[in-house]
Structure 1
Amino acid sequence: MYKLIAIDIDDTLINDDKEVTPATQQALEEAITAGVVVTLATGRAYSSAQAVARQTGLNVPIITYQGAYVKNLLDEEVLYERYLPLEAASRLFEYCLEHDLHLQTYIDDKLYSREENQKLIDYTSLNNTEYFIEPDFAKLVAQPTPKMLIIDEPDYLDEIAPVLRELLGPEVHITKSKPNFLEFMHHEGTKGHALKFIAQHFGCDLKNTIAIGDSWNDHEMLEAAGLGVAMGNAIPALKQIADYVTLSNNEDGVKRVIDKFIFNRES
């Protein structure tokens, strides 16, 4: 019996209109009523993720910043946090300066950039995130952050990712949440690490957990969970490692998983 479900937000829980459909909302409520712990696991900042979680009626810890930050919705206690090593953050900043790359950081759950540009505007319009401009970016880089992010063309990010892995070392986890977002966290700041933490927090064996996602930043939690589910709209690489492929985010794919694996019914 599955007792815990961790669900990615963008392109998984919400459809292309950025909404949780009434059918999926009802399925979540049914699962919670049946005693299943339902949580979110997202690359978003806590401030952005908690708005979705509260809308959906969740009252448990949620996984944010790709797994680097787990915070309780009820009393807002931080249960798990892993910050990007400061030396690595400094190296990443210097690299981005040298190569004229757009870099963002998050301090105290606020998004900062060195300058306002179209990349920043497009990024923040995706989930209505407020942003702050700090020209003296070096002083921000010297502060603990759960995540830094480069925005650029997908092919170019694929080209520089191995270079940055070498530059930043094994203490840093690098992943993509979308083709043009390259994200940097502590090596224990993955959704897989956070799922293991949440399962332990609730006294739940990992084999009794389900993880649902669509992108490569979800692969660690799909591999850690008892049942790893890829959305119908997921990238091919995630579908290959998934135990099950559900319907897309526009076809209530999350509802299908709850119906099939929690309630043993076909939706």
Structure 2
Amino acid sequence: MNVMHQVQAKYKLIALDLDGTLLTDREQITDETKKWIQYAVDNGVKVIFSTGRGLQTAKGIWDELGLDSPMVLLNGAEIWEGPGRLYKRIFIPRETIRRIHAIAAERGDWYWGYSVESLTGAKDWTPEMFERDWMKFGIGCQDHKKLAGLKEEMLSWGSLEITHSAPVNMEISVQGITKESGVRQVCQMLGLSMSDVIAMGDSHNDAKLLKAAGLGVAMANGEEHIKSIADVITATNNEDGVAQAIRKYLFQIE
């Protein structure tokens, strides 16, 4: 799309969830979505990720879009000023990781963690892992009642933030660390306010951000709770929902 002149966008920052939002179910970004993200960038809008993914699985997407903007990764536990420019990491205390891991190994169906060095799942977990610093730990369980019990138990410790990106998992960070807290820090970095933000997402870990943003956009494929709290609902991730939202809500192009 050729931009002949600057268009006034209604918001100054787009915060995008990845899985189920920017990415299709085949983990691709459609050409239509790429076109409208570039249109936003060309018109002075910052486009950032606000994702549960870490750099290990988000960097390729960052590179694909050619974005030179901040990123909120690991549900806010890792913030980047731009490519190769780390701003902040918030680690779960090592003794807490030992407690979480013991529960995950005994009662979860699967588990994984994001450290500085790696994304590590159960089959690759070794005693050496306890000497690393972890920003996020995830536990998966097909039994929803069992998973809810694990969540309730860990929340009772009073030091953890627990959310989920799918009904069969829980994602654990330091208390107070969320996508919202991460995007707030990016806004401070850029001299913006949360009212300048349009945020898009589909899962529980997007809830606080969507409520705090100037405009919270839920994907049509999103969880019912997310759709109920969002300001607006766009099309699904497989139907260019992000592109439609940028066109309609940033640039008022029907």
TM-score normalised per structure 1: 0.86
Residue 254 of structure 1 aligns with which residue?
A: 242
CA distance in 2, matches of 1:154, 1:40: 30
The alignment status of 1:135 with 2:142, answered yes or no, reads no
Q: Supply the distance in 2 between the matched residues of 1:246 and 1:100 (Cα, whole angstroms).
A: 34
Aligned residues of 2:73 and 2:79 also touching (Cα < 8 A):
yes
Distance 1:9 1:113 in 2: 20
User: Which residue number corresponds to residue 179 of structure 1?
Assistant: 167
2:14 counterpart SS class? strand
Match of 2:102 among 90, 94, 98: 94
Q: Does 1:149 align with 2:138?
A: yes
Contact 2:41/2:47 (<8 A) preserved:
yes
> How many Å separate the matches in 1 of 2:222 and 2:107?
31
Conserved 8 A contact 1:68-1:188 = no
CA shift in 2, pair 1:10/1:21, >3 Å: same
Q: Does 1:198 align with 2:204?
A: no
| 1:53-64 alignment runs, 5 A limit | 53-64=62-73
Deviation at 1:100, TM superposition (A): 6.0
1:104 corresponds in structure 2 to 112
Instruction: State the shift of 1:4 in Å.
Output: 0.4
Give per-residue Cα distances to partners, 1:77-101, cap 9 Å, x unaligned: 2112211123322221222344365
Residues 87-96 or 213-222, more deviating: 87-96
> Is the partner of 2:39 in helix, strand or coil?
helix
> What is aligned with 2:202?
214
Report 1:155-166 matches (<5 A): 155=144, 156-166=146-156
Report if the CA contact (8 A) 2:108-2:139 is conserved: no
Assess if the C-alpha contact under 8 Å between 2:56 and 2:119 holds in 1: no
For structure 1, which segment, 176-185 or 212-221, has the greater mean C-alpha deviation from structure 2 after superposition? 176-185
Alignment-derived partner of residue 35 in structure 2:
26
User: Structure 1 residues 22 and 194, CA, compared in 2 at 3 Å: closer, same or farther?
Assistant: same
1:69 maps to what in 2? 78
Task: Tell me the alpha carbon deviations over residues 211-259 of structure 1, each in whole angstroms, 9 at most, x when there is no partner.
Answer: 1000001112112211111001000000111011111111111111111
How many pairs are equivalent?
244
CA distance in 1, matches of 2:122, 2:136: 15
Instruction: Specify every segment of 5 or more residues in structure 2 that has no aligned partner in the other structure, as ranges.
Output: 1-9
Unaligned stretches of 5+ residues in structure 1: 116-132
Match of 1:43 in 2: 52
Contact kept? 1:46, 1:109, Cα under 8 Å? no
- AA aligned to 1:214 is D
Are 1:6 and 1:195, in contact at CA under 8 Å, matched by a contact in 2? yes
CA shift, 1:53, in A, is: 1.3
- CA offsets 1:119-147 (integer angstroms, 9 cap, x no match): xxxxxxxxxxxxxx2332xx423432110
Letter in 1 for 2:55: Y
Residue matched to 1:52: 61
Residue of 79, 83, 93 corresponding to 1:85: 93
